[in-house]
Amino acid sequence: MSNLEEGHVNTSIENGVGTIEFGHPKSNSLPGKVLRKLAQTITDLGADNAVKVIVLTSAGDRAFCAGASFDELISIQDYPTGKEFFMGFARVINAARKCPKFIIGRVQGKAVGGGVGMASAVDYCMATKHASVKLSELAIGIGPFVVGPAVERKMGASAMSELAINATEWRSAEWAKEKGLYTEVFESTEEMDSAISSLTARLAKNNPEAMQLLKTAFWESCGDWDTLLELRAEMSGRLVLSDFTVNAINAFKQKA
């Protein structure tokens, strides 16, 4: 299997701006290998003195992230493996939370499940009009347990509940902006990229210590997330083994 088929995480640094791009041929879904690399890359750029601000983006045009890899989910045969898979999402969210640099999200297309969680875990998120959102976990018998704290922190309990309960319905990018997930929604990727370039250029010139302290203040109520997200991964790790979830994932894959 080629690296492209397995997915990738690439980085670049230019003028103090570190860019992290993840990708996978199946709508930028996230297998465990990509999740592990993504969490480590966020941590590494956070410790790199050449990086003043980080941009998190994905490959392609209309799919930001399809969430968990169904191929990997359906292969899980035991609880430790299930928990470890969902810990991948926990580690990405916690890496973003602990990163001392501001992370700017670039959401060019649809975000599902863990993709919504990633958009929620960044510090400032821009999107295009194509960046609709859905938390589809309940529809396959699980629930957005690991990403839930990040989504609720950014959008509030009401919007989080709406997405989690009505798990098969898309919400528009404008809806997501109204609820606080996106800061701005653009007509095109070109307009979005121009705005991101302008913002990151300004941030790269700011006092790094001030930005780090400000980020710490933004996240100060989330100090228990190492424990909380592990507990949530345990919930999902058990549920993914249920007959309901196995049958639901298989049915979804047959339709795809």
The CATH number that applies at residue 45 is: 3.90.226.10
**Does 221 reside within a domain?**
no
- pLDDT, position 6: 82
The pLDDT value given to residue 1:
35
pLDDT reported for residue 256: 59
pLDDT at 2 over 50: no
Task: Give the distance from CA 232 to its chain's centroid.
Answer: 16
Instruction: Tell me the whole-structure pTM to 2 decimals.
Output: 0.95
Q: Which domain holds residue 50?
A: 3-188
Give residue 104's pLDDT: 98
Amino acid symbol at 231: L
202, two tokens: 């300004």
pLDDT digits (tens, 9 = 90+) for 5-33: 689 999 999 999 999 999 999 999 999 99
Average pLDDT over residues 69-75: 91
User: Residue 220 domain-assigned?
Assistant: no
Q: Are 253 and 70 in contact (CB under 8 A)?
A: yes
On whether residue 196 sits in a domain, the answer given is no
Q: What percent of the chain has pLDDT over 70?
A: 98
Q: Is residue 113 part of a domain?
A: yes
Angle among Cα 106, 40, 182 to the nearest 5 degrees reads: 20
Residue 86 lies in a domain: yes
Mean pLDDT for 96-119 is: 98
Per-residue pLDDT at 5: 60
Pair type for strands 110-112 and 53-58:
unpaired
* Buried-state track 128-153, b at ≥16 Cβ within 10 A, e below 16: bebbbbbbbbbbbbbbbbbbbbbbbb
| Residue among 137, 136, 128, 131 at smallest CA distance from 172 | 131
Residue 3 has pLDDT above 60, yes or no: no
Residue 50 falls within a domain, yes or no? Answer: yes
Instruction: Label residue 195 by pLDDT band (50, 70, 90).
Output: very high
Number of domains in the chain: 1
Determine the Cα angle at 198 with ends 213 and 17, to 5°. Answer: 55
Average pLDDT for residues 106-123, to the nearest whole number? 98
